[in-house]
Chains A and B, each alone.
Chain A
Amino acid sequence: MTGEPQEFRGDWRVAVETAAEVELIRYARDELGFELFVDRMGADQGPDADPRFDVITCLYNLASHTRLIVMTTLPAARPSCPTLIGVFRGANWFEREIYDMYGVSFTGHPNLTRILMPDEFDAFPLRKEYPMEGLGAFGAPRRALGGNVDGTDGHVAIPPHPGQPGAPTRDPLLGDDGLLPSERALLPDDGEEASS
Chain B
Amino acid sequence: MTTARALDVELAENPNAEAMLINMGPQHPSTHGVLRLILELDGEEVVKAAPDIGFLHRGKEKVGEAYSFHKFIPYTDRLDYLAPLSNNVGYALACEKLFDIECPPRATAIRVIAHELSRISAHLLGLGAYAMDLGAMTVFLWTFREREHIYGLIERICGARFTTSYTRIGGVERDLPADFFPRLAAFLEEMPRRVDEYDAMLTRNRIWVERTQGVGVITREQCLQFGLTGPILRASGVDHDIRKSNPYLGYEDYDFDVPIGTEGDCYDRYMVRLEEMRQSVRIMAQVLAKLPDGPVMNREGEQVLKSVLPEKGKVLTNMEALIHQFMVGTDNAGAPDAGEVYFSIENPKGELGFYLRSDGGHAASRLRIRGPSFANLQILEEILPGHMVSDVMAILGSLDFVMGECDR
Contact = CB atoms under 8 A, between A and B. Distances in A.
A36 interface: yes
A149 interface: no
B315 interface: no
Contacts of A44: 366
A9 B100 contact: yes
B341 A41 contact: no
Given A62-B238, A116-B408, A111 B98 contact: no
Interface in B54-77: 54, 57, 59, 61-63, 65-66
Nearest to B374: A93
Given A36-B240, A39-B355, A58-B370, A11 B3 contact: no
Nearest to A71: B340
A90 B57 contact: no
A38 B228 CA distance: 8
Report which residue of B1, B6, B100 has the largest number of chain A beta carbons within 10 angstroms of its beta carbon: B1
Nearest to B55: A116
A118 B66 contact: no
A9 B370 contact: no
A90 B227 contact: yes
Contacts of A130: 62
Contacts of A111: 2-3, 6
B351 interface: yes
A114 B342 contact: no
Interface string B322-358: 0000000000000000011110100000010101010
A26 interface: no
Contacts of A116: 1, 53-54, 57, 407-408
A97 B378 CA distance: 12
B9 to A, nearest CB: 12
Contacts of A8: 339-341
B227 A38 contact: yes
Contacts of A90: 225-228, 375, 378
B370 A39 contact: yes
A62 B245 CA distance: 8
Closest CB pairs A-B (n = 7):
A113-B2, A90-B226, A37-B227, A116-B54, A65-B245, A116-B57, A43-B366
